[in-house]
């Protein structure tokens, strides 16, 4: 973990109400896909947690949806803007557990961390299937990028305007070695009930600090009380209590 100033390189639309922001600066605190950063925004008090979508030595990519005041301000940021960011927060996904053909499941803005994970799994020689669910075609996110990595990408939309009509669980008809999921709770629960293989699930909670100090984000698990920001956001299937 560290506190760093990063500079916006570009900040462009990626889907309906969704933006992709690239920043340059020291990313050495990020150690695993599925970790997040906590962004200080001028005029707002609490930092905003956003997943690491992708990173290399000196670039960080965030993909975020405009849902309120903070993300609205982020969407208006221009290249050159400097941001105070707490980096490398949370545990992230364990790439080692993947097996040969893992499935990655994402819903809406749960997909950004799935991208960073897919990239590292492909680099490790895995056969990666990504199943993504959206409300509508206009919301489809990172599809071309995931295909370019070499993933098999399956899409479901609630209104049927892209991919199969229905929910992401309808796409999960193969045999997989392991699973990784990030998205809204009802999606996570449905995936949990559908898949028989082991897996890791990434959760969200409103946060005070993002680094384990305030107990704002606590949840109960079979392995005891955990903080989503520090002991999560990724929980293993066996420990989750719905």
Ligand X SMILES: Cc1cc2nc3c(=O)[nH]c(=O)nc-3n(C[C@H](O)[C@H](O)[C@H](O)COP(=O)(O)OP(=O)(O)OC[C@H]3O[C@@H](n4cnc5c(N)ncnc54)[C@H](O)[C@@H]3O)c2cc1C
Ligand Y SMILES: Cc1cc2nc3c(=O)[nH]c(=O)nc-3n(C[C@H](O)[C@H](O)[C@H](O)COP(=O)(O)O)c2cc1C
* Binding-residue pattern over the window 17 to 46 for another protein, x denoting contact by CB under 8 A: -----------------------x---xxx
Residue 25 or 216 having the CB closest to ligand Y: 216
229 binds, among ligand Y, ligand FES, another protein, none (CB under 5 to 8 A by kind): ligand FES
- What sign does the CA torsion over 24, 28, 32, 38 have? negative
Phi, psi dihedral angles at 99 (to 5 degrees): 70, -165
Binding mask 186-205 for another protein (x = CB under 8 A): -------------------x
The dihedral over CA atoms of 150, 156, 161, 162, expressed in degrees to the nearest 10, equals 10
**Least Å from the CB of residue 151 to ligand X:** 18
Spell out, one character per residue from 146 to 185, where the chain touches ligand X: x when CB under 6 A holds, - when not: ----------------------------------------
For ligand X, the binding residue among 233, 234, 235, 240 (CB under 6 A) is 233
User: What is the rounded CA–CA span in Å between residue 117 and residue 140?
Assistant: 18
Binds ligand X by CB under 6 A, chosen from 4, 27, 51, 179: 51
Task: Residue 64: name its binding partner from ligand Y, another protein, ligand X, none (Cβ under 5 to 8 Å by kind).
Answer: ligand X
Q: Are strands 59-65 and 82-89 parallel, antiparallel or unpaired?
A: unpaired
SS3 content of the chain, % helix, strand, coil (to 5): 20, 35, 45
Among residues 32 and 227, whose Cβ is nearest to ligand Y? 227
According to the binding rule CB under 6 A, does residue 208 interact with ligand Y? Answer: yes
Which option in ligand X, another protein, ligand Y, none does residue 212 bind, with CB closer than 5 to 8 A by kind? Answer: another protein
**d(Cα 158, Cα 234) in Å, to the nearest integer?**
26
How far apart CA 79 and CA 11 sit, in angstroms, is 7
Burial of 215 (0-12, 13-18, 19+ CB in 10 A): exposed
Question: How many residues are there in the chain?
Answer: 242
CB burial of 41-69 (b: ≥16 within 10 Å; e: otherwise) equals: beeeeebbbbbbbbbeeeebbbbbbbeee
**Which residues from 196-225 bind ligand FES, rule CB under 6 A?**
207-210, 212-217
User: Which of 60, 105, 109, 229 touches ligand FES (CB under 6 A)?
Assistant: 229
Residue whose CB is less far from another protein, 158 or 213: 213
Provide the binding-site residues for ligand FES, judged by CB under 6 A.
207-210, 212-217, 227, 229-230
Provide the binding-site residues for ligand Y, judged by CB under 6 A.
208, 214, 216
């Amino acid at each position: 973990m560290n506190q760093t100033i990063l500079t916006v390189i570009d900040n462009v639309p990626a889907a309906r109400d969704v933006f992709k922001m690239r920043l340059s600066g020291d990313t050495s605190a990020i150690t695993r896909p599925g970790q997040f950063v906590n962004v200080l925004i001028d005029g707002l008090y609490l930092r905003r947690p956003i997943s690491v979508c992708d990173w290399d030595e000196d670039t960080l990519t965030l993909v975020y949806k405009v849902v309120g005041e903070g993300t609205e301000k982020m969407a208006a940021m221009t290249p050159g803007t400097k941001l105070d960011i707490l980096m490398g927060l949370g545990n992230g996904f364990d790439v080692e557990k993947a097996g040969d053909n893992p499935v990655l499941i994402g819903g809406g803005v749960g997909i950004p961390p799935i991208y960073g994970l897919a990239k590292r799994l492909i680099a490790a020689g895995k056969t990666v299937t990504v199943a993504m669910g959206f409300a509508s075609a206009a919301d489809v996110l990172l599809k071309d990028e995931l295909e370019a990595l070499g993933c098999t990408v399956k899409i479901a939309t609630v209104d049927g305007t892209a991919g199969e009509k229905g929910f992401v669980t309808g796409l999960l008809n193969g045999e997989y070695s392991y699973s990784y999921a990030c998205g809204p709770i009802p999606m996570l629960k449905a995936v949990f009930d559908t898949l028989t293989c082991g897996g890791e699930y990434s959760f969200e909670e409103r946060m005070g600090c993002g680094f384990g100090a305030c107990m704002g984000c606590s949840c109960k698990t079979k392995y005891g009380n955990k903080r989503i920001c520090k002991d999560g956001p990724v929980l293993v299937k066996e420990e989750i209590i719905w």
